[in-house]
Structure 1
Amino acid sequence: MPAAMPSRMNRRLAVVLSVVGLHVLALWALQSGLLRRAVELVIPVQVMAEFIELPQPEIEPQPPAPPVATPTPPQPRPRPVAPPLPRPLAAPSPEPMPLAPVVPPAPPAPPPPAEPVQAAAPPAPPAPPAPPRIELPSSSAAYLNNPRPPYPPLSMRLGEQGKVVLRVFIEVDGTASRAEVGTSSGYERLDQTAVQTALRWRYVPGKRAGVPEAMWANVPIVFELRYAQ
């Protein structure tokens, strides 16, 4: 092994000397125009120098690292494109309306008058006493024994008959002081006979609140031929 080291050093030294000599020769060839020949000579020397170099330890290349998968960002979804809206048609401008006359605002209504305070109503007067009971005179009492009126003979022959209503003023003692025809029978003879009969009759006097009082009364007298026969 020690003997082999000087031989290698000699080879390297020879190679170095040859390379230096080749460079010197190349410079000279450049100056003298022999560049191509120098190039041909240099190439074998370089190949030889490569073969003479000591073998270098082989370094195993490391396997390349697996590529890291970069996450791809999610692609945004395309937004739906709305269909274009139809353009509104230009409406014809309406004709200007005539301006209404400006009416001035009405004056505010006056406040309502305050209601007068009503005084306390006076107490109601006492109810008037009930009117006294009035009893009209009557000629139909059985105890009076008034006779029937006489039938005029001429009226009987002529067939006169009817009803007479007399207004008779009856005194307190039950006698008649006045008598007048209220409703005629249609025959003068019958009416006068009824008046004379009413003045002779007796009556039950009228009363006011139970006290006898002179007053008017209606007295009917009927003339019928069947009663006279």
Structure 2
Amino acid sequence: MLSHVGVACLLGSGLWTRVVPAGAPDNVIMASVVMDAPAPAAPKPEPAKPQIQAKTKPQPERQPQAKPVSPPVQPTPVLSPTAPSDAAPIVPSPAPAPATPAAPQTGNQRPANNATAAAVVLPSTSADYLNNPAPPYPRQSKRLGEQGIVIIRILITPEGRAEKAEIRTSSGYLRLDETALSTVQRWRFVPGQRNGAPEAMWFNVPIRFVLD
């Protein structure tokens, strides 16, 4: 057993050679076992050096900058349009009565502290008993299409008659003005009064000429 092991070792180391006896034929081939030299062991890789990371300084956190706050804009008050107030109708004031001279004061008389206004009633043409005729419409004025309003100013006596008459506002046409003036001068009136007594007063009478 041990002999077989020794032979195997000699064969493995290449030291074993076969001895050919003398006198053997020349065609005997000599064989030997050649062992390849073992390849050198590969060098162990050097361990990789740890890379040193450069220390970076921590950047300071930026504080968010506060945006400037603009002051609140005060709303402009809107003025709501006021509804127009209903205007009071304009009432024409009556013609002023002629001023009468004041009575001279005597030495024993004292002026009154509170003077009372005299009650005045203006003349009128609306009484039924007057029967005043309407002014005629001139024929030529009708043909020409003349129309308008004439205002006659009359001084009425305490008896209710026209003492004076004049044209205060013209119609723009002479024929119409003259017709109105001549007609009103023949009218009768209710005289004006002051404190219940008839009195001469001026009065305005409008005459309208309108084509149908």
TM-score scaled by length of structure 2: 0.46
Looking at secondary structure, tell me which structure has more helix per residue. 1
TM-score scaled by length of structure 1: 0.43
Which structure has the greater CA radius of gyration?
A: 1
